[in-house]
Amino acid sequence: MNTDAVPPIPQTGLDEEPALPENYPSHHTRDLEIKGHQVRFRPIHPGDNHRMVMLFDTFSMETIYHRFFSYVRMPPERVKRFTHVDYALQMALVAEEERHGQQHIMGVARYAREKDNPAQGEMAIVVGDRWQGRGIGTELLKYLFEVAEKEGVAMLYGLVHFDNRAAPRIIRKSGIKFKKKDNGTEWRFEVFPGQTQEPEAG
């Protein structure tokens, strides 16, 4: 695949929206270099609608299935649910790169707190296929755990298909303490932001 080609702006049926809400947590923005590539991690915002559609267009069927557990599509209402975040209850961090003067979202990691117990919540992560295997998922997940800790989240859980090899790998590589449970149809990972993994025996 020629990853240098400039993709056209998609016709999404989504209006341009004002970029930054008043309570946008810009202090959770971080620039870093991952394997020679400049990457920005930042909270998602309503101005990301088109970038999210473009990210979704890069997903293989396997990526969609591993992330959403079914072969979903991304209609405008659904895109908006992803980009309109109540930052007090949820966090969604994008990994972004600049190419040919355009910002491209390469991946998204998010958590949503439980209403009854906001110290814990559900998490999910996805990286577009063309960017997988470059260390972005590992760094983005680590950063999600760091932000979660700062925001007072003590435990995040996420479901992972039994045949998903990459997700357990990046959770382990995050260095953060986790538990893995077999719930019959998939793995349930519980991760404890702020707590580090015990060194492995041997």
Q: Which is nearer to ligand COA, 21 or 172 (CB)?
A: 172
> How far is Cα 192 from Cα 145, in angstroms, rounded to an integer?
8
Q: How far apart are the first and last CA of the chain?
A: 42
147 belongs to the binding site for ligand COA (CB under 6 A): no
- Integer angstrom CA distances of residue 22 from 52, 77, 109: 21, 22, 22
* Nearest distance, CB of residue 68 and ligand COA, angstroms: 8
Strands (E), 64-167: 90-99, 102-113, 120-127, 155-161
Closer residue to ligand COA in complex, CB, 76/133: 133
Does the footprint of ligand COA cover residue 138 (CB under 6 A)? yes
What torsion do the CA atoms of 155, 169, 57, 62 make, to the nearest 10 degrees?
-110
- Contact pick of 120, 132, 195, 197 for ligand COA (by CB under 6 A): 132
Candidate residues 135, 157, 188, 197; the one interacting with ligand COA per rule CB under 6 A: 135
Q: Which of 134, 146, 155, 193 binds ligand COA (CB under 6 A)?
A: 134
Residue closer to ligand COA (CB basis): 85 or 125: 125
| Farthest CA pair distance, the chain | 56
Query: Is there binding between residue 175 and ligand COA (CB under 6 A)?
Result: no
Residues ≥6 apart with Cβ < 8 Å to 61: 71
Give yes or no for residue 160 binding ligand COA (CB under 6 A). yes
Q: What's the Cα-to-Cα distance from 195 to each of 5, 67, 154, 176, rounded to whole Å?
A: 42, 25, 9, 6
One residue of 63, 103, 195, 197 binding ligand COA per CB under 6 A? 63
- Looking at 48-56, 97-105, 159-167, 194-202, which segment touches ligand COA (CB under 6 A)? 159-167
Out of 42, 51, 66, 110, name the contact with ligand COA by CB under 6 A: 66
Sort strands 90-99 and 120-127 into parallel, antiparallel or unpaired: unpaired
Site residues (vs ligand COA, CB under 6 A): 63, 66-67, 124-127, 132-138, 158, 160, 164-167, 169-170
